[in-house]
Amino acid sequence: MTVANLHDGNYPKIGSLEAVTEENRKLRSEGGMVCPYLGLEIFDQGPDENSPYALEARPHVVRGLFGIKRMWNNETAWQMCVATEWWQNRLEEPCRIMTQREHIGGLYLDVMQGCGLPCY
């Protein structure tokens, strides 16, 4: 598998893989727990900024001093400003829906740097 953050921030419009919900339900009934990864600063805008929430996300991307959007590490995904209400709500929705719909045991919330990067 590649090491990349694909589709982060696009759930539920880009849903889980087919059969994941049922498999998670089976695991939970047997005492297992699935804990999905959620990158708290990462948003995959798609190859042509065409992912489901890309247009809404654009104003909430961390930008450098000259207004250039910051990408996540060496990947193409945008680095989101975690201080914006829109991004906080965008993250809350998949957490809530996944726990209700996908039978998960919790979420692994990763890569929040405490707003260490200034967003100009």
Q: What is the pLDDT of residue 115?
A: 55
Q: Is there a contact between 102 and 11 (Cβ–Cβ < 8 Å)?
A: no
Give the Cα separation of 110 and 84 in Å (integer): 17
pLDDT tens for the chain, 120 residues: list them: 455 777 778 989 988 888 999 999 999 999 998 998 888 888 999 989 999 999 999 999 998 888 899 988 788 899 998 889 999 999 999 999 999 999 998 898 887 665 556 665
Tokens of 91: 């993250």
- Asked if 80 contacts 60 with a C-beta cutoff of 8 angstroms, the reply is yes
- State the pTM of this model: 0.82
CA atoms 26, 29, 35, 38: torsion sign: positive
CA distance 68 to 78: 11
Strand, coil or helix: 81: coil
Q: Which pLDDT score, from 0 to 100, does residue 50 have?
A: 94
Rounded CA gap, 3 and 19, in Å?
Answer: 23
**Contact (Cβ atoms closer than 8 angstroms) between residue 60 and residue 79:** no
Helix (H) or strand (E) holding 39: strand 37-39
